[in-house]
C-alpha cells in the first residue's frame, strides 16, 4: 500500500463522517428532550405522557421490564403525540421503565444516540389507581342491612372477557367500608374480604351511610386504598302500616272512609234531583 492509497482512504473516511454524521448532529441541536415523563394508570388503563408538543421532530417510546429487552408499541414510534397507551403491552406484575426518545424527521443516524428522558419505575399491580366501586344496599329477610359491592372492571381482557379487580388481585383484594349513623360524625371502619357484607351490629330504625373503597394491603403506603365511592344511605326503617296499627284499626279506618264516600255520593244524588225538579218551574216563570 502506498501513501496515496492511505491518504485517499483517510479522506474517504472523513467524507463519510461528514456526509452521514454531520447533518444528524446538526439536527440533534433542534431536538428537544421530553419533559415531565409520567405514568398515569386507572383500573389498569395505563398511559405514559410527557411534553412538550414536538415541532419538526417526533417521539418514540421504548419500554422494558427491569433487566429485559427494550420493546416498542407500534403506535408510539415516530409519533407526534405526547402520550402512549401501554395498557395492553404490560404484564400486570412486571416492573417497567420507559424512555421517550426525540428523533428527527429524517431518521436517526446510527452514530448518534437520540436524546431521551427516562420515566420512573412503574408496576401495574402496585401502582394503578383502583376506581371507586359501585355498591347496593339491601335489607335481608332477617332485617339486616346487606351491602353488595360490584368489583370494578379493569381495562384488561382475557379470552374476550373484561377482567375485574378480583380476577387480578384474588386473595389480595379487600374492601374498606366507612359508615356512620346518618347525621352523626362518629365514623366506623370495616375491612372485608368478600363483595357481600351483612351488618349485624347496626341499630334498627336508624339510617346509616356507607362508603366503599378497594383495599390492597400488599401495596405500599397510600397506594393501598383506592378511590372512595360517594356515600349511600340506608332508608330510615319504616314499619308497614299493618305492623304499626294492626288489622282492626286499618279495617275500621277503611270502613269509616267508605261510609264517608257513600254519604257524599248520596248527598250529590239528592241535590241533583232537587235541582232538576226545580228547573222546569224556573223556565215557566221566565216564559
Ligand X SMILES: *[C@@H]1O[C@H](CO)[C@@H](O)[C@H](O)[C@H]1NC(C)=O
Stretch that binds ligand X, among 12-20, 52-60, 167-175, 249-257 (CB under 6 A): 52-60
Q: Is 246 in the site for ligand X (CB under 6 A)?
A: no
SS3 (DSSP) at 164 = strand
Nearest to 195 by CA among 183, 212, 210: 212
> Number of helices and strands (H, E) in the chain?
5, 15
> Which of 24, 42, 47, 51 is in the footprint of ligand X by CB under 6 A?
51
Q: Mask 248-287, x = binds ligand X (CB under 6 A)?
A: ----------------------------------------
Cis peptide preceding 193, ω within 30 of 0: no
Q: Mask 68-107, x = binds ligand X (CB under 6 A)?
A: -------------------------x-x------------
> Which of 55, 247, 248, 286 is in the footprint of ligand X by CB under 6 A?
55
Distance of CA 140 to the CA centre of its chain: 29
Q: Which of residues 56-75 bind ligand X (CB under 6 A)?
A: 56
Q: Mask 26-45, x = binds ligand X (CB under 6 A)?
A: ----x----xx---------
Q: Which residue is nearest to ligand X (CB)?
A: 51
Q: Could you tell me where the DSSP H helices lie in the chain?
A: 3-16, 22-28, 124-127, 165-169, 241-286
CB 148 within 8 A of CB 136: yes
CB 154 within 8 A of CB 44: yes
SS3 (DSSP) at 237 = coil
The residues that touch ligand X, with contacts defined as CB under 6 A, are 30, 35-36, 51-52, 55-56, 93, 95, 123, 125-126, 218-220
Amino acid at each position: 500500500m502506498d501513501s496515496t492509497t492511505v491518504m485517499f482512504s483517510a479522506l474517504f473516511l472523513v467524507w463519510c463522517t461528514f456526509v452521514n454524521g454531520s447533518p444528524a448532529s446538526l439536527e440533534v441541536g433542534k431536538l428537544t428532550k421530553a419533559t415531565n415523563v409520567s405514568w398515569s394508570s386507572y383500573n389498569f388503563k395505563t398511559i405514559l405522557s410527557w411534553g412538550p408538543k414536538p415541532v419538526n421532530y417526533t417521539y418514540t417510546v421504548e419500554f422494558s421490564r427491569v433487566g429485559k429487552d427494550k420493546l416498542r408499541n407500534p403506535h408510539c414510534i415516530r409519533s407526534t403525540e405526547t402520550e402512549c397507551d401501554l395498557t395492553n403491552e404490560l404484564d400486570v406484575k412486571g416492573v417497567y421503565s420507559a424512555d421517550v426518545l426525540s428523533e428527527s424527521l429524517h431518521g436517526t443516524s446510527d452514530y448518534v444516540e437520540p436524546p431521551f428522558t427516562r420515566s420512573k419505575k412503574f408496576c401495574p399491580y402496585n401502582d394503578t389507581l383502583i376506581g371507586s366501586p359501585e355498591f347496593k344496599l339491601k335489607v335481608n329477610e332477617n332485617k339486616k342491612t346487606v351491602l353488595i359491592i360490584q368489583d370494578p372492571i379493569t381495562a384488561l381482557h382475557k379470552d374476550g372477557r373484561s377482567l375485574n379487580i378480583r380476577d387480578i388481585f384474588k386473595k389480595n383484594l379487600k374492601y374498606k367500608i366507612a359508615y356512620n349513623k346518618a347525621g352523626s360524625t362518629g365514623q366506623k371502619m370495616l375491612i372485608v374480604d368478600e363483595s357481600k357484607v351483612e351488618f349485624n351490629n347496626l341499630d334498627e330504625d336508624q339510617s346509616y351511610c356507607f362508603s366503599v373503597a378497594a383495599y390492597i394491603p400488599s401495596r405500599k403506603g397510600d397506594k393501598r386504598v383506592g378511590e372512595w365511592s360517594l356515600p349511600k344511605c340506608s332508608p330510615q326503617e319504616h314499619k308497614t302500616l299493618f305492623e304499626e296499627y294492626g288489622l282492626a284499626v286499618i279495617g275500621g279506618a277503611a270502613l269509616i272512609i267508605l261510609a264517608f264516600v257513600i254519604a257524599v255520593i248520596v248527598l250529590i244524588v239528592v241535590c241533583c234531583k232537587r235541582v232538576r225538579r226545580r228547573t222546569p218551574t224556573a223556565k215557566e216563570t221566565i216564559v
